[in-house]
Amino acid sequence: MNIIRPVFADVDFGNKDINPIAKYSSIGSFTDVIIPLMMIAGGLISLIMLLLGAYKYLTSEGNPEKISKAQSTIIYAIIGLFLIVASFILTKVIGWVLQVNMPL
């Protein structure tokens, strides 16, 4: 006597109402959404780190060790922001050279 009966469910993973990932037909359409969001997030993180470094610098009270840590935070935030801008420019140049339609 078999009490548990098998259940056969027919799920269409291509349906956009059931599977939200189905609206991305390819990896390219998925990266069209993700890359701008990552660049915005990176820019916001750089801005927050820059403000944090400035706050550390203002509240260092002349302590050379605290000033050094604040300056390194500011320098790393500027380097990060530079890398984000450079990657954006590099992506645009590569897209222009290869004549590829870029999402940004």
3-state per-residue secondary structure call for 42-82:
HHHHHHHHHHHHHHHHHCCCCCHHHHHHHHHHHHHHHHHHH
* pLDDT in the model for residue 100: 77
Q: What average pLDDT does the chain have?
A: 84
By percentage, how much of the chain surpasses pLDDT 90? 44
* pLDDT in the model for residue 86: 93
- Among 1-15, 18-32, 59-73, the range with the most confident prediction by mean pLDDT is 59-73
Domain spans of the chain?
A: 27-98
User: Is pLDDT of 82 > 90?
Assistant: yes
Stronger pLDDT, 63 or 103, i.e. the higher one:
63
User: Is pLDDT of 36 > 90?
Assistant: no
